[in-house]
Structures are given as C-alpha cells and as structure tokens.
Amino acid sequence: MTALSVPSVPADLALARLREATPLVQCITNSVVTGFTANVLLAVGAAPAMVDLPEEAGIFAGIAGGLLVNLGTPTPQQRDAARAAVVATDRWVLDPVAIGTLPVRTALAAELLQSRPAIVRGNASEIIALAGLGSGGRGVDSTAGAEEALEAATSIARSAGAVVAVSGEVDVITDGTETVRVPGGDRLLTLVTGGGCSLGATMAAFLAVCDPLSAAVAASVAHAVAAEHAARTSSGPGTFAVDFLDALAALDPSDLRDREAHLQGVS
C-alpha cells in the first residue's frame, strides 16, 4: 500500500462549509441532464442556476460560487455562453463529454482548456482524448479504465494548472503532483442519466468553499457514499435515482470523515 497525500480541506469539513454557505452554482450543461443535475445540487446543499444565455452567462459567472461547463449538448448558444462564462471566474469545472471523434466538442474542449479550469472531470477515454493521447470512447462511455488515464490526467494537470478527476470504479484525482484515489460507489449510478454530469456540478459546488483538489475529492467521496447508501434500498435504476438524491440530502459530515480516513494508502 502506498501512502498518498490527502486534501488540505477534509471532505467532512468541506460538506459542512457547503451546507452553511448554500453556494450558487451556475450550470452550462447537457440538456438531457439539467433536471437531475439541479436536484443533485439541491440535495447536497447548493443552489443551482442553469444560466446559459451568452448575454447573461459571463455576468452570472462573476457572482456564482462555482460554474460547471459540460459539453454534452454543445449548441451554438451554449458554446458562446461557455466562452463568456469561463473568463469571468476561476472557480469552474470543465466536463469534456464524449470528446475525441466528435469534432465540434473536441475543438471546444481544447479551446476552453486554455482558459484554465480549476477542475477537469471526465471518464478515462475523455481525459485521454483531451490530452491528445487517444481518440475517445464509445459515445459517452469510456473504453479505458481510470488508472490507464493517469498519465494523461497528470499531463493536463501540469499544463493547465488544473485538478483532473478521472471517474471510474475507483476515481483517480490528481493535481499533477499529488494523486488521490476514491474507491466505492455503485454500478447503478452508471445506469442513471446524469450520474457523471452531476458529479461535475457537485465539484463546482465544493469549489465555492475550498481549493480544487479538496473540492474534487469531497465531491467524489460524497457521491460514492450516497451511491452505496442508495444501492442498499433501491430495486433498480429508477428507484436508485430517487434514493440517491435522498441519500445525498441525508449525508452527514461524519459519513465522509469515515470514508476519507481510508483514502490514504489506497493504491
């Protein structure tokens, strides 16, 4: 077992801060997942705002606690809104959904990366493609494991000055120097539309109250613990989606403290 550094703000403290602050989180996101993403943010203790008009996005980003830019359905309006928003804040998350073979979103992701997001969150294939080391996965599904993307994640983190979070059976999160692995969760979350996209939004919420590495880890821990709780009470993807929201809302900071105590030494 390899000893790993832990974030400067523990996940339990990050959750307590988030619940106290109720940060405003702007989402320029996939039209398929807006409702679920908003509900996840409400459940975790944040206030969602789906502001994606180009004329408003930059203004709103300047007052929001955190921003998510998700490229799942990159309409011309959303592309312009993203460009306006990312120059108005440094507390933002880039989610490069399905990049690689699809040219519009791939070029946009590369462009937005130059504006230095605080966090980049994606599956392994997306992160590998963003680093220029692969051609992407099967649509939104990864064809690589999170550990396979560590080299790409480290490269992006160092060149863009970002924390890179690779989602998988074990989430791999790096700032280019330190690497944290977050185990747990449940496969049922992959059968709910918006499971990954909402994780990016939760990371944006935590950005309002702590540094990027702590924000990414706290969000991953919160989703993993909530998914495990939901899996114990659900009978399939439909009930799991509802139970996951309930589990997020019921999270106590001590739940995250217990899980984070096991992060150090995961290899």
- Check: CB of residue 118 under 8 Å from CB of residue 162: yes
- Walk me through the domains of the chain, giving residue ranges and CATH numbers: 19-176+191-213 (3.40.1190.20)
133/127: higher pLDDT: 127
Q: In whole numbers, what is the pLDDT of the chain averaged over residues?
A: 92
- Coil, strand or helix at 215: helix
Is 19 annotated among the ligand-binding residues?
no
Residue 229 pLDDT level (bands cut at 50, 70, 90): very high
The answer, yes or no, to whether residue 145 has pLDDT greater than 90, is: no
Instruction: Give the Cα separation of 90 and 157 in Å (integer).
Output: 15
220 labeled binding residue: no
Are the beta carbons of 256 and 247 closer than 8 angstroms?
no
With 0-12 / 13-18 / 19 or more C-beta atoms within 10 angstroms meaning exposed / middle / buried, residue 249 is: middle
The number of residues in the chain equals 267
Q: What is the DSSP letter of 96?
A: -
Helix or strand (DSSP H, E) at 165: strand 163-167
Residue-wise pLDDT for 23-44, tens only, equals: 999 999 999 999 999 999 999 9
| 121 annotated to bind ligand | yes
pTM over 0.85: yes
* Statement: residue 182 has pLDDT above 90: yes
Beta-carbon neighbour count of residue 154 at 10 Å?
A: 18
**Is 232 marked as binding a ligand?**
no
Q: What does the buried/exposed string (b/e) look like for 28-47 if buried means 16 or more CB atoms within 10 Å of the residue's CB?
A: bbbeebbebbbbbbbbbbbe
